[in-house]
Amino acid sequence: MGRRKAEPELKLSGPRLASRFAITMSAALGVVMLAAGAFLYSRMISAASAIQESAFVDATRNQGPLLEQLAEDQARALRGLGPDGSKPRLEAARAVPNTPIREYAGGDVRRTEVRYGPAFEQEGFLYQWKAAVPPLVVPASTKEKAGEGLFGLILGVTLFVILVGALVAYLVGNAVARPLEIIVDDIAQISRGDLRHRTRVRSGGEVMLLAKSIDRMAGNLESAQEAERELSKRERELALAGEVREALMPDAPPAVPGCDLGALHVDSAAPGGDFYEFLPFEDGKVGLLVCEVSGRGIPGALIGAIARSYLRVELSRGADVAAALQRVNRELARDVRRGMYVTALYALIDPAGGRATVACAGHKLPLVRYAAAEKAIRLVQPEGIALGFDKGPVFDRTLQVVQVAFEPGDRLLLSNTGPVRVVDAAGAEIGEKAFYKLVLKHAGQTTEALFGRLEADLRAHAGDTPFPGDISIVSIVRRA
Distance CA 176, CA 207 (A): 9
- Per residue in 403-452, pLDDT (tens digit) is 999 999 999 999 999 999 999 999 999 999 999 999 999 999 999 999 99
- One-letter amino acid for residue 143 of the chain: K
Nearest 5°: the CA angle 128, 134, 137 is 60
Neighbour-count burial for 203-237, b at 16+ CB within 10 Å, e otherwise? bbbbbbbbbbebbeebeeeeeeeeeeeeeeeeeeb
Distance CA 467, CA 430 (A): 11
The residue-averaged pLDDT of 273-287 equals: 92
The residue-averaged pLDDT of 103-125 equals: 84
Q: Is the pLDDT of residue 221 over 70?
A: yes
- Kindly indicate the confidence band of residue 138, based on its pLDDT and cuts at 50, 70 and 90: confident
Residue from 379, 342, 348, 378 nearest 361 by CA = 342
Q: Is the pLDDT of residue 178 over 80?
A: no
User: Are 126 and 93 spatial neighbours (Cβ–Cβ below 8 Å)?
Assistant: yes
Distance CA 131, CA 322 (A): 154
Dihedral sign (CA 456, 461, 466, 470): negative
User: Are 368 and 413 spatial neighbours (Cβ–Cβ below 8 Å)?
Assistant: yes
Distances (CA, A) of 238 to 204, 269, 300, 468: 49, 9, 11, 15
Distances (CA, A) of 252 to 249, 265, 278, 338, 356: 9, 12, 9, 34, 21
On the question of a cis peptide bond just before residue 382, with omega within 30 degrees of 0, the verdict is: no
Most confident range (mean pLDDT) of 135-139, 194-198, 242-246, 357-361 is 357-361
Domains and CATH numbers, the chain: 11-88+141-241 (no CATH), 93-132 (no CATH), 249-478 (3.60.40.10)
pLDDT at 1: 44
- One-letter amino acid for residue 54 of the chain: S
E-state strands within 225-354: 259-266, 275-280, 286-293, 342-350
Query: Structure pTM?
Result: 0.56
- Per residue in 46-79, pLDDT (tens digit) is 777 777 777 777 777 777 777 777 777 788 888 8
